[in-house]
Structure 1
Amino acid sequence: MSHPIIHHNDEHHHEDFQLKDTHPLLGERWPAMGGVRGNDKLTSTYDLVEQMYYLYVRVVKAKDLPPNPLTGSCDPYVEVKLGNYKGTTRHLEKRPNPEWNQVFAFSKDRVQSSSLEVYVKDKEMVGRDDYMGKVVFDLNEVPTRVPPDSPLAPQWYRLEDPRRVDGLKVRGEIMVAVWIGTQADEAFPEAWHSDAASVHGEGVASVRSKVYVSPKLWYLRVNVIEAQDVQPAMRGRTPEVFVKAQVGNQVLKTRTSLSATLNPKWNEDLLFVVAEPFEEQLVLHVEDHVSSRKDDLLGRVTLPLTMFEKRLDHRPFVHSRWFDLEKFGIPALEGETRRELRFASRIHLRVCLEGAYHVMDESTMYISDTRPTARQLWRPPVGVLEVGMLGAKALLPMKNRDGRGTTDAYCVAKYGQKWVRTRTLVGTFSPSWNEQYTWEVYDPSTVITIGVFDNCHLGGNGNSARDSRIGKVRIRLSTLEADRVYTHSYPLVVLTPSGVKKMGELQLAVRFTCLSVASMLHLYSQPLLPKMHYLHPFTVSQLDSLRYQAMSIVAARLGRTEPPLRKEVVEYMLDVESHLWSMRRSKANFFRVMSLLSGLVGIFSWLGDVCKWKNPATTVLVHILLLILVWYPELILPTVFLYMFFIGLWNYRSRPRHPPHMDTKLSWAEAASPDELDEEFDTFPTSKPQDLVYMRYDRLRSVAGRIQTVVGDMATQGERLGSLLSWRDPRATCLFVVFCLLAAVALYVTPFRVVALVTGLYLLRHPRFRSKLPPVPVNFFRRLPSKIDSML
């Protein structure tokens, strides 16, 4: 196996992937609309972002517009013009009294004009627009609105036409409201923004900021108990029956009944993931396994999910029920009525809905919500998480537009069931979103994930285009100090087939506010997951299947919103491919284990140096400590805990000062070889040539062989330990039993202090009294038998 060239010594290259402190000019604690009611600490504020001022123009409606003298009708629309920026409403056909109710937002930093012009035009079919009238506003007279002030009331304005020499007003009025506000204004998310003036058509909806809520997930547990009077399609044949259950695109089967009978029994659980509101139905097929290529349908029943009860912690028992099967393909006998034929067979089920904890829609390594689905089991929040998405810088071009590279970046954050999406800033490598969002926190041992993407749906590319990933950041809330604002620039790192690549930097301001210290500390004594997870645990294969189905449901439901949160975005945020094989990830996990064992190895190495008198002064001090502890054994535990106390105090100086971030060195991303990366980005199943697959398979066998050897050695040592008293080796067991008897007698008549002292002095004896051969206990242990002798 080839060894990659390691670049860890390139300090400048590695520093490029490090977290950086930033000092943004955050705003004062000014309130935003839509704060959480009932608790002052939960009130949403906008103090984690820089205040950005906008000129808002709300075009509500118009009335009494004159008809066009040529066409006799009026197809009006409004054009709002501020300097070089121009925004238009949709045109309404044959509407002399149109209603638009549309908001335009112009960034005040880019305003280069002292007046705002609002035109009302008529869209003619001949290809030119007829100018009906306009209203001009002096920007110096525009009022400023700061939430929580009520929205500014729109007013009626008479239209004027400067082309009239008499200076009279034209017929018609328009209702408009003009004010200066910030991004905290409730009109901000739905407004047309001047920085996205080049976006038209369906792409306008995809540039707006939105808040999404992922669906509420439930486990559907179907316990298939038995069936009665199952009649095969072929008379005289005893069927081999199994049950196939289907919910949406999820299909599971029971095992075939152990004995061929008309009353088969299974008592087998089938688990599905479903989401509220329940759109699918549970469909059960009872089938006869006739041959390896043929299964006959014997009966079917369709059950709506709303008929099943929900099993909660305080109501764990669920009653079973019998359901009639609708028969298929079974010829009727003489005398059988249609009703008797339809309800001759029954199936016995115990079906319930269990509250899925929201961890199932993501990788268990990055839990963002540990609450049960049932809201009545929720506890009060223990904290508030506020994240200010300030902006990004030094983004790389993600696509070409008009012959040059460009990026249309937006940000997505996911925590619990709440997803947020910032607006898309078009054609800039240093976007400034300055949007702030708030989440309630029910458990600090959770992770928020923030991703940056390139919007590829601005130019009418349709659903075939995919939003490109720029990078993401994960922050574990328990690593944050309470009430402290963290302002850092996080590297946006992605792994490509050509290697690890920095796509830019994401600037965030994060604050975790603790509502109750006592409740927070109490959580550390509670189970991480809800009670039902421990009462009815799942197998590893069930967890993998349920997690995959949950991810698919969440992606499908969020993809049906407007604008949609697309599948590629949801999958990247939920780490869908984290379970797939990767040589790079395997190496990273191996070295993580080695780093943990290095401390233990260091302790044993230090003890070996003490025993071998490498440093006589240290060995003498250890002798003195041994004598004290042996003479006063009651000081052993206090000494250990006091030592750990001082270690904790000593480590406080070097405690982490910033949240964790994507570490390319820890991920082994900088040292991955091109072939390993090519294998990681390969499709599943593989699409590579046969020779390359053979080579990678051999490499995988080599790595798996090493793991197999280590696991086998651990099993061997455990089996040897168990064989001490199993009499598998009669002579070894006899010797050990006699040794145990003698040791018991010796320890009974000898004071514990003497035994501890003699043992310590023996271990610390001088090298001249040591033998280079292994000690007797080690030789005896290595001679013990294990089950490896029975391995093929």
Structure 2
Amino acid sequence: MQKAPQAVDFALKETSPNIGAGAGAGAGDKLSCTYDLVEQMQYLYVRVVKAKDLPGKDVTGTVDPFVEVKLGNYKGITKHFEKKSNPEWNHVFAFSKDRIQASVLEVVVKDKDVVLDDIVGRVLFELNEIPKRVPPDSPLAPQWYRLENRKAKGELMLAVWIGTQADEAFPDAWHSDAASVGPEAVANIRSKVYLSPKLWYVRVNVIEAQDLILSDKSRYPEVFVKVNLGNQTLRTRISQSKTINPLWNEDLMFVVAEPFEEPLILTVEDRVGSNKDETLGRCAIPLQIVQRRLDHKPVNSRWYNLEKHVIVEGEQKKEIKFASRIHLRVCLDGGYHVLDESTHYSSDLRPTAKQLWKSSIGILEVGIISAQGLMPMKTRDGRGTTDAYCVAKYGQKWIRTRTIVDGFSPKWNEQYTWEVFDPCTVITVGVFDNGHLHGGSKDSRIGKVRIRLSTLESDRVYTHSYPLLVMHTSGVKKMGEVQLAVRFTSSSLINMLFTYSQPLLPKMHYVHPLSVIQLDSLRHMAVQIVSMRLSRAEPALRKEVVEYMLDVDSHMWSMRRSKANFFRIMKVLGGLIAIGKWFDQICNWKNPITTVLTHILFIILVLYPELILATVFLYLFLIGIWNWRWRPRHPPHMDTRLSHADAAHPDELDEEFDTFPTSRSSDIARMRYDRLRSIAGRVQTVVGDLATQGERFQSLLSWRDPRATALFLTFCFVAAIILYVTPFQLVCLLAGFYVLRHPRFRQKLPSVPLNFFRRLPARSDSML
């Protein structure tokens, strides 16, 4: 396997794009978006507003008008109106000036016909006479133009100007890049900004029920409560008090998004047999009336009447009887941050309730410039093609660039801004292929980039080309590169430094913590809600895009990730291991000069113990100053070597991309299961060894081995007396000289303390 070329190919590259068109803003303008992180692109804008007094062209004397804007080989068309002589379109067309190959702009009003569209009239513009507009100038006012025709009848209101991508008309304009796309798909290629729905945790404390009506009163009821909220369903345990007044006092947690669409539905059921439950009562609680909690103080509980529904003549009707009741404590917990991202790559850590938010510490500006060398993602007309767009997610704000149709080196040059509330957060930028332009069903992932804000220097512009890497069953594959410009600007250095002393998550996560299993389940619910809400936007941000950006499958087993994490741990421990080896060399007098110097330093520290901590901190300070010369100058990026992506076995990759549950044959599943058992057995042994060492420490004073405990207590008593009458410096000197003694005074056998410790009992003797 050729690793050397891959290491170069997958590297992060610093670039020098021609940015800064809006630079030069003063210090007071630092927190305003100046659109200076992208290359300036000029566009010819044509705003078609409306027409009036259009002459009739059909036999009936009516006209079905639409407007065709032509510039060389590019042609944009508005929608047509039936039988309307005064239509209003208010449509904007944008033609990239880099691709203009004509000197005249032609705006033609036509009459829609079955066979051949008739020309109603036209307006011509010489390109060298069109005015330029530089944002933030006021928008150019449209004006009436008389249509050139033999009958000289009809007028068209237009505005024509040359501007840049910073123009407010840019996002909603029809672009010449999309000339090959049908009118119905134009909305799907425009740049858009989305907001994640506001997510709440719903806590339902099911306390008790009263006066339940049972169909069979001769048996002890086995009652539980099933709670449903949209697609989420949870249930309590079966009540231990088997009466008509059961008691639970159990908490159930859900995720819900504003605006609240589904009520909270509680059903009290009785287990009357295997897989057979009888409904004893039901109640629905609208979330709009539920109390919102900002801290850990309990909310007031309430009794709710239970309604029993019966089937009468095929219809469900309420049965009004003696009212059974259920006692609940329901609240919307606004003090938590609802986790919808992977905890390692969170972009937002604020609580749900806005009353608990703190002021922002700065802004993040990202210029999405271009991509190079993208791979063909689909086939159209017998050739490979890619319709690429970018999605960036930070906090509650998602952005989507426009789709560049049929290009392997698209240029977006779009700039976006986010407020930053915590520097220890991550922005994720993904590149996708638009699969819905020609009847496709799914947007394909090309790759993504993560940038942690705390790794960026304030007010510095980072311009880099990031490799887009994706794991396939055949191994890691480079899908191209995306060029970004990133700038993090701090509004207050003191406020930013103060955040480093604050808890990472809101206070409620520590006062009333949620279990790991709960958090994992709630995150899954949150991802489903966010993907469903964003897929209902127009244009939709597809489910597969949202799930890829939120790392929905990051918890799945992967042999490659397990190896990578193991070697990450070994690298972290490598420093301690290196120190241990260095100290062992000193103790064994491998370098006598170093050992003698160590003796001298040791004697000084023992005689002047007040210098120990000062020396340690001074040493750490000097190491940090020394390392400043080699500080990282680039943002972190996807590392194939660290991820063990460049050396993964094909079968391990096939296992990583297998569905859950598995879709492979029983022989392959058996082989992988046996391999997993082997690995898990080694992990189990290591964990067992660590537990054994800890239990041996506990057994020193537990009298599990009475002789060992008696010996240890005797040693402690004698040591206490000796240490009491012996100066502490002398004890340290003798202990240090013993540890640093020459090899000729050492034995090959283990030391007495180690022998004693290894003989201590552990609870492994009680394991089956």
TM-score tier by shorter-chain length is over 0.9
TM-score, with normalisation over the residues of structure 2? Answer: 0.98
Distance in 1 between residues matched to 2:124 and 2:336, nearest whole Å: 56
Aligned match of 2:733: 757
Secondary structure of 1:663's partner? coil
Q: Does the CA contact (< 8 Å) of 2:338 and 2:526 recur in 1? A: no
Aligned match of 1:119: 108
Q: Does the CA contact (< 8 Å) of 2:268 and 2:279 recur in 1? A: yes
Q: Does the CA contact (< 8 Å) of 2:431 and 2:448 recur in 1? A: yes
Aligned match of 1:432: 411
Distance change >3 Å, CA 71–CA 31, structure 1 → 2: farther
Alignment match of 2:223 (pick from 241, 249, 259): 241
Distance change >3 Å, CA 686–CA 340, structure 1 → 2: closer
Distance in 2 between residues matched to 1:359 and 1:496, nearest whole Å: 32
Once the 2 structures are TM-superposed, how far is the Cα of residue 230 of structure 1 from its aligned partner?
1.2
Once the 2 structures are TM-superposed, how far is the Cα of residue 329 of structure 1 from its aligned partner?
5.4
Q: Does the CA contact (< 8 Å) of 2:335 and 2:507 recur in 1? A: no
Aligned match of 2:390: 411
> Unmatched 5+ residue regions in structure 2?
none
Alignment match of 2:571 (pick from 582, 595, 614): 595
Distance in 1 between residues matched to 2:682 and 2:106, nearest whole Å: 75
Q: Does the CA contact (< 8 Å) of 2:467 and 2:480 recur in 1? A: yes
What letter corresponds to residue 179 of structure 1 in structure 2?
A: W
Once the 2 structures are TM-superposed, how far is the Cα of residue 387 of structure 1 from its aligned partner?
0.3
Matched, 1:137 2:125: yes
Matched, 1:450 2:426: no
Distance change >3 Å, CA 31–CA 147, structure 1 → 2: farther
Distance in 2 between residues matched to 1:69 and 1:295, nearest whole Å: 70
Distance change >3 Å, CA 69–CA 626, structure 1 → 2: closer
Matched, 1:623 2:604: no
Q: Does the CA contact (< 8 Å) of 1:357 and 1:369 recur in 2? A: no
Q: Does the CA contact (< 8 Å) of 1:189 and 1:208 recur in 2? A: yes
Distance change >3 Å, CA 731–CA 552, structure 1 → 2: same
Alignment match of 1:251 (pick from 216, 233, 237): 233
Q: Does the CA contact (< 8 Å) of 1:217 and 1:356 recur in 2? A: no
Aligned match of 2:13: 20
Identity %, equivalent residues: 70
Alignment match of 2:196 (pick from 214, 223, 233): 214
Alignment match of 1:326 (pick from 278, 285, 307): 307
Distance in 2 between residues matched to 1:543 and 1:69, nearest whole Å: 67
Distance in 2 between residues matched to 1:275 and 1:191, nearest whole Å: 32
Distance in 1 between residues matched to 2:220 and 2:319, nearest whole Å: 21
Q: Does the CA contact (< 8 Å) of 1:395 and 1:504 recur in 2? A: yes
Q: Does the CA contact (< 8 Å) of 1:21 and 1:487 recur in 2? A: yes
Distance change >3 Å, CA 343–CA 372, structure 1 → 2: farther
What letter corresponds to residue 117 of structure 2 in structure 1?
A: D
Per-residue CA deviation, residues 283-308 of structure 1 (Å, 9 max, x unaligned), is 00000011222110000001101111
Per-residue CA deviation, residues 167-202 of structure 1 (Å, 9 max, x unaligned), is xx5210000000011000010001000011000132
Distance in 2 between residues matched to 1:620 and 1:128, nearest whole Å: 101
Matched, 1:686 2:642: no
Once the 2 structures are TM-superposed, how far is the Cα of residue 383 of structure 1 from its aligned partner?
1.1
Secondary structure of 1:170's partner? coil
Secondary structure of 1:360's partner? coil
Aligned match of 1:192: 174
Distance in 2 between residues matched to 1:572 and 1:340, nearest whole Å: 48
Distance change >3 Å, CA 340–CA 668, structure 1 → 2: closer
Distance change >3 Å, CA 655–CA 476, structure 1 → 2: same
Alignment match of 1:675 (pick from 651, 654, 658): 651
Distance change >3 Å, CA 472–CA 358, structure 1 → 2: farther
What letter corresponds to residue 451 of structure 1 in structure 2?
A: G
Q: Does the CA contact (< 8 Å) of 1:357 and 1:370 recur in 2? A: no
> Unmatched 5+ residue regions in structure 1?
1-6, 33-38, 332-337
Deviation larger for 68-77 or 104-113: 68-77
Distance in 1 between residues matched to 2:280 and 2:715, nearest whole Å: 68
Aligned match of 2:261: 279
Once the 2 structures are TM-superposed, how far is the Cα of residue 84 of structure 1 from its aligned partner?
1.1
Once the 2 structures are TM-superposed, how far is the Cα of residue 469 of structure 1 from its aligned partner?
0.4
Once the 2 structures are TM-superposed, how far is the Cα of residue 69 of structure 1 from its aligned partner?
4.4
Per-residue CA deviation, residues 32-90 of structure 1 (Å, 9 max, x unaligned), is 9xxxxxx8443111000000000000000000001114242210000001111111101
Distance change >3 Å, CA 438–CA 340, structure 1 → 2: closer
Once the 2 structures are TM-superposed, how far is the Cα of residue 357 of structure 1 from its aligned partner?
4.9
Once the 2 structures are TM-superposed, how far is the Cα of residue 377 of structure 1 from its aligned partner?
1.1
Secondary structure of 1:715's partner? helix
What letter corresponds to residue 134 of structure 1 in structure 2?
A: R
Alignment match of 1:230 (pick from 201, 207, 212): 212
Aligned match of 2:517: 541
Residues 600-611 of structure 1 aligned to structure 2 (within 5 Å) = 600-611=576-587
Once the 2 structures are TM-superposed, how far is the Cα of residue 328 of structure 1 from its aligned partner?
4.0
Per-residue CA deviation, residues 110-130 of structure 1 (Å, 9 max, x unaligned), is 1121211100000113x1100
Residues 766-781 of structure 1 aligned to structure 2 (within 5 Å) = 766-781=742-757
Alignment match of 1:46 (pick from 32, 35, 40): 35
Q: Does the CA contact (< 8 Å) of 1:218 and 1:356 recur in 2? A: no
Distance in 1 between residues matched to 2:189 and 2:629, nearest whole Å: 46
Secondary structure of 2:201's partner? strand
Instruction: Provide the aligned C-alpha RMSD in A.
Output: 1.7
Secondary structure of 2:554's partner? helix
Secondary structure of 1:148's partner? coil
Distance in 2 between residues matched to 1:664 and 1:656, nearest whole Å: 18
Aligned match of 2:690: 714
Deviation larger for 229-238 or 762-771: 229-238
Distance in 1 between residues matched to 2:338 and 2:612, nearest whole Å: 43
Distance in 1 between residues matched to 2:30 and 2:199, nearest whole Å: 29
Distance in 2 between residues matched to 1:339 and 1:174, nearest whole Å: 63
Aligned length: 763
Aligned match of 1:4: none
What letter corresponds to residue 151 of structure 1 in structure 2?
A: P
Once the 2 structures are TM-superposed, how far is the Cα of residue 355 of structure 1 from its aligned partner?
2.0
Aligned match of 2:560: 584
Once the 2 structures are TM-superposed, how far is the Cα of residue 358 of structure 1 from its aligned partner?
4.8
Q: Does the CA contact (< 8 Å) of 1:31 and 1:46 recur in 2? A: no
Q: Does the CA contact (< 8 Å) of 1:31 and 1:45 recur in 2? A: no
Per-residue CA deviation, residues 136-169 of structure 1 (Å, 9 max, x unaligned), is 11111111111111111000011012xx3xxxx5
Aligned match of 2:485: 509
Matched, 1:159 2:147: yes
Aligned match of 1:305: 287
Distance in 2 between residues matched to 1:130 and 1:478, nearest whole Å: 62
Aligned match of 2:450: 474
Secondary structure of 2:553's partner? helix
Secondary structure of 1:434's partner? strand
Distance in 1 between residues matched to 2:592 and 2:447, nearest whole Å: 54
TM-score, with normalisation over the residues of structure 1? Answer: 0.95
Secondary structure of 2:610's partner? helix
Distance in 1 between residues matched to 2:216 and 2:91, nearest whole Å: 69
Distance in 2 between residues matched to 1:559 and 1:340, nearest whole Å: 40
Per-residue CA deviation, residues 324-352 of structure 1 (Å, 9 max, x unaligned), is 00024599xxxxxx999445210000000
Per-residue CA deviation, residues 474-530 of structure 1 (Å, 9 max, x unaligned), is 000000000000000000000001110000001000000011010011101100001
Q: Does the CA contact (< 8 Å) of 2:459 and 2:487 recur in 1? A: yes
Aligned match of 1:11: 4
Matched, 1:401 2:383: no
* Structure 1 stretches of at least 4 aligned residues deviating more than 6 Å after TM superposition: none
Per-residue CA deviation, residues 415-447 of structure 1 (Å, 9 max, x unaligned), is 000000000001111001000000000000000
Q: Does the CA contact (< 8 Å) of 2:257 and 2:529 recur in 1? A: yes
Per-residue CA deviation, residues 694-721 of structure 1 (Å, 9 max, x unaligned), is 0000011111111111111111000000
Distance in 1 between residues matched to 2:333 and 2:241, nearest whole Å: 32
Aligned match of 1:379: 358
